[in-house]
Amino acid sequence: MSKILLSFDEDYDFTLVGISCHSKDYRLCWEINKALNLDLIRSEDLEIRKKGTVNSHSFYEYIDEDNYLEYYLISNRGDNGFLIAEQKRVDFFLMAKGNISDIHTKDTISKINALSLVLTSFSIDPDQLKSKQNLLF
């Protein structure tokens, strides 16, 4: 009898923006909501389980049902380490799922960089990250 082996590749079909900011998550969320005209709301923490430990990261979400877009603001620093360890200089990730153009992403980064409490923000290619599976939820 022959074996059938199933394999699948995860789909990292989202836009990811790294944000460096020394402010608290709720303060940054409020500023992003004003700048991007979003309504990010605090949800349950994103929990990553590794080797018997649980790492919690603050998690905000906004689902734009009219335009079929989803936005998530996730802290990179958790109580037991980083969500994406290879991006230690990034404090938060803004993830956008849906049909997002490059122009929209550049405009978003420009608006985030204009915020006084943000040090910098930049686009990140999720396929280049070693810990990218932590961004699937």
> Tokens standing for 136?
């699937």
**pLDDT tens sequence across 43-93:** 999 888 877 788 899 999 999 999 899 999 999 998 888 998 899 999 999
| pTM summary value | 0.85
**pLDDT tens sequence across 3-19:** 776 665 556 678 999 99
